[in-house]
A and B are shown apart, each in its own frame.
Chain A
Amino acid sequence: MVDFQNWTPMTITKPDISLPRGVSDFLPDAAAKIGYIEGRIRRVFELWGFRRIITPKLEYEDVLSIGMGEELKGRTYRFDDRQSGRLLAFPPDITPQVARIVATRLNNWPLPHRISYSGRVLRQTEIQAGRSREIFQSGVELIGLDSPEADAEMVAMAVEALQGLGFDDFKIDMGQVEFCRGIMAASGLQGQPLHELQQAVSRKDSSAVARVLSANSVPEASHREISALPRLFGGREVLDDARRVVTNSRSLAALDNLCQVLDILEIHGVSDRLTIDLGETRGLEYHTGITFEGFVSGLGEPVCSGGRYDNLTARYGFNAPATGFTFNVLSLLQALQHRPELEASTTRDFLLFNRRDDRREVLKVAHLLRSQGYTAARDIIRRDYDSSLEYARRMNFRCMLVVGDDSAGGGCRAVRTRDGRTLTLTMEQLQQNGLMKFIEESQGDE
């Protein structure tokens, strides 16, 4: 059999430069956009009083496992540590790391903790799907509070961040894992039938739900609850629909809890952003209460997700209720890709082109621009005016600044890359506020 992986025609002797599937190089434009998105999110986190921590990229697998469910464990990259002989792992999720840090390093500090993080995790994915194995997470954890206000704070922050990123058409879909668990527990189903039922509910497949129900005997009240589950999604009216059919106390308590959170979100003024899905079971295994996911139109996967996890820090020896959520930065990038604000983040302000051999003036001008906060790069290569302008265009500079042009009367000449218009600027004008705006809006020299 031909080994296509290592197969190259005899005449070509290039080195193999392939990357493993599911990872990418992010070139300057994409990296600038990611930086923009992360920056906006981080600013929201800061404004709500969250402080960043940085977690290690490697942990002992058994330590990390304490805080992970079966699903995440199965998606963790693991390998031998030659030094210790123990198994190492790349964290597939940052929340268990935060739980460990809070339980073991911050356990003497006063509660609550408001912690944010921004980093990359690795997860095994089905190779066929071609999905990214590297996930950019920017998230927060609010630890030490079991109050509905804490859950509401997470949702309100998610809304604020998505609005700040310029989304106008998005929904935060809320659920309460205890609602589903209450119904499942009341049914008395176990093993294979329970698994089938959970699968059917997660797909909202009412006919499969009906099939499981007809093949197994469940109490009549449970029958009604389960049958309703795949259709309990929509606006706030869903809570009333649920109350009409649900009788088990665990699910009713979950409804009360969700109601309290929704009331607080009303005060935050974000109610029109919310949808409710009581049949959603996609949260991670460590979730214990309110969960939510953010959806923007036109993108199949959620852009953020999170929820309450009251038992996680206890697994590391410190009992504290907690809630949190994280953004999937690459999903956001995909949704925002061509927005003007993101495109703008890929540009630089000035390329400096020197007409003279003496570089003193051009370096002075560059310093002047940078001190006003403009990005300014020198075109150190010796080439003619047209080639430099071409380079400036290709590399997304907004303006080429020609220094040392005798016809500019001791000033500089700005060349707008977008249309090639030129504008003569005196040294005084170069130091005025709103220089770039002035150049962008000018009609140019006649």
Chain B
Amino acid sequence: MNNWITIAIPKGRILEESVGLFGKIGIDCRELLSDSRKLIFENADQRMRYMIVRATDVPTYVEYGSADLGIVGKDTLMEQGKDVYEPLDLKFGYCRMMVAEPAGLASSDDPAGWSHIRIATKYPHVAESYFAAKGIQVEIIKLYGSIELAPLVGLSERIVDLVSTGETLKQNGLVEVETIAEITTRLIVNRASLKTKHRRISEIIQGLERVLQAS
């Protein structure tokens, strides 16, 4: 039981990319891509266990040690600030966390003069600490999706959100005004697991590191 490694992975693109990446270091988990409703998969030969969880829950499972490893976007890590190790940037899932506003406002706007602005976002902690570091007072409106809608209906003047191609922003008449951070997918590790299972986990980290450097 204690030789097993448990990995928490969210569904969707991260899952597909991760399965490919693990395949390259000899960890076969293609079973995860089957159209199953199972939430937990086991591979007794490789002593691996996989849990399918929501992306925002990955850091929690790892911090509490229910999973030894997790795969999750840097955006989620920044928002939650959990005490986990994040030894590897897996390089995929690239996007940017940015501040955007309507094109009309942007043409005459000066970010240096912002004061008491209203921001709609899925990332209240990131937004709050970003603006606090700049000394700007903000009113944060937490939304759970379709953030781009907020400025269109006057809920907020600006948004903080992820953008990859910028297409959604464009279609909703928004432009990017400031970049907060570049986001990629990370491998995270529970603190106790790194110590109590350090051989197996180091092997995985080093293996992935070699694959990533080669690509």
A positions within 8 Å CB-CB of B = 169-171, 173, 203-207, 230-231, 233-235, 275, 277, 293, 295-302
Take A234-B202, A301-B191 as given contacts and tell me if A170 and B196 are in contact as well, using a CB distance cutoff of 8 Å.
Answer: yes
A300 touches B65 (CB 8 A): yes
- Residue in A231, A233, A295, A301 whose CB lies within 8 Å of B196: A295
Mostly helix, strand, loop or mixed at chain B's interface? mixed
A298 touches B86 (CB 8 A): no
Please name all residues of chain B whose beta carbon is closer than 8 Å to the beta carbon of A301 when the two chains form the complex. Answer: 191-192
Please name all residues of chain B whose beta carbon is closer than 8 Å to the beta carbon of A234 when the two chains form the complex. Answer: 198-199, 202
B126-165 contacts to A, CB under 8 A, are none
B165-208 contacts to A, CB under 8 A, are 186, 189-199, 202
B192 touches A204 (CB 8 A): no
A205 touches B86 (CB 8 A): yes
A295 touches B85 (CB 8 A): no
Please name all residues of chain A whose beta carbon is closer than 8 Å to the beta carbon of B89 when the two chains form the complex. Answer: 205-207
B92 CB-CB contact with A under 8 Å:
no
Please name all residues of chain A whose beta carbon is closer than 8 Å to the beta carbon of B84 when the two chains form the complex. Answer: 203
B64 CB-CB contact with A under 8 Å:
yes
B108 CB-CB contact with A under 8 Å:
no
Please name all residues of chain A whose beta carbon is closer than 8 Å to the beta carbon of B202 when the two chains form the complex. Answer: 233-234
Closest chain A residue, CB of each to CB of B189:
A204
How long is the Cα–Cα vector from A171 to B191 in the complex, in angstroms? 12
* Interface residue tally on B, bucketed by range: 20 to 34
Closest chain A residue, CB of each to CB of B190:
A300
Between A and B, 26 residue pairs with Cβ closer than 8 Å are A169-B2, A170-B196, A171-B195, A171-B196, A173-B195, A203-B84, A203-B85, A204-B189, A205-B186, A206-B87, A206-B88, A231-B87, A233-B195, A233-B202, A234-B198, A275-B195, A277-B195, A295-B195, A296-B196, A297-B2, A297-B197, A298-B65, A298-B192, A300-B62, A300-B63, A302-B192
How long is the Cα–Cα vector from A207 to B64 in the complex, in angstroms? 24
- How close is A232's CB to chain B, nearest CB, in angstroms? 11
Please name all residues of chain B whose beta carbon is closer than 8 Å to the beta carbon of A204 when the two chains form the complex. Answer: 85-87, 189, 194
- Residue in B65, B86, B186, B198 whose CB lies within 8 Å of A299: B65
Closest chain A residue, CB of each to CB of B133:
A192
How long is the Cα–Cα vector from A233 to B87 in the complex, in angstroms? 12
How long is the Cα–Cα vector from A297 to B3 in the complex, in angstroms? 10
B56-89 contacts to A, CB under 8 A, are 62-65, 84-89
Please name all residues of chain A whose beta carbon is closer than 8 Å to the beta carbon of B190 when the two chains form the complex. Answer: 300
- How close is A204's CB to chain B, nearest CB, in angstroms? 4
Please name all residues of chain A whose beta carbon is closer than 8 Å to the beta carbon of B86 when the two chains form the complex. Answer: 203-205
Take A169-B2, A234-B202 as given contacts and tell me if A297 and B87 are in contact as well, using a CB distance cutoff of 8 Å.
Answer: no
A299 touches B2 (CB 8 A): no
- How close is A89's CB to chain B, nearest CB, in angstroms? 25
B198 touches A275 (CB 8 A): yes
B198 touches A300 (CB 8 A): no
- How close is A436's CB to chain B, nearest CB, in angstroms? 33
How long is the Cα–Cα vector from A297 to B194 in the complex, in angstroms? 10
Known: A233-B198, A296-B192. 8 other contacts (CB 8 A): A205-B89, A231-B87, A293-B195, A296-B196, A297-B2, A297-B196, A300-B192, A302-B192
Please name all residues of chain A whose beta carbon is closer than 8 Å to the beta carbon of B65 when the two chains form the complex. Answer: 298-300
- How close is B134's CB to chain A, nearest CB, in angstroms? 13
- Which 4 pairs, one residue from A and one from B, show the smallest C-beta to C-beta distance? A300-B65, A207-B89, A295-B192, A297-B196
- Most chain B C-beta atoms within 10 Å of own C-beta, residue among A231, A299, A300, A302: A300
B192 touches A299 (CB 8 A): yes
How long is the Cα–Cα vector from A300 to B190 in the complex, in angstroms? 6
- How close is B157's CB to chain A, nearest CB, in angstroms? 24
How long is the Cα–Cα vector from A301 to B2 in the complex, in angstroms? 17
Please name all residues of chain A whose beta carbon is closer than 8 Å to the beta carbon of B88 when the two chains form the complex. Answer: 206-207
B87 touches A295 (CB 8 A): no
A297 touches B192 (CB 8 A): yes
- How close is A73's CB to chain B, nearest CB, in angstroms? 20
Please name all residues of chain A whose beta carbon is closer than 8 Å to the beta carbon of B191 when the two chains form the complex. Answer: 295, 300-302
Closest chain A residue, CB of each to CB of B62:
A300
Take A204-B85, A298-B65 as given contacts and tell me if A233 and B2 are in contact as well, using a CB distance cutoff of 8 Å.
Answer: no
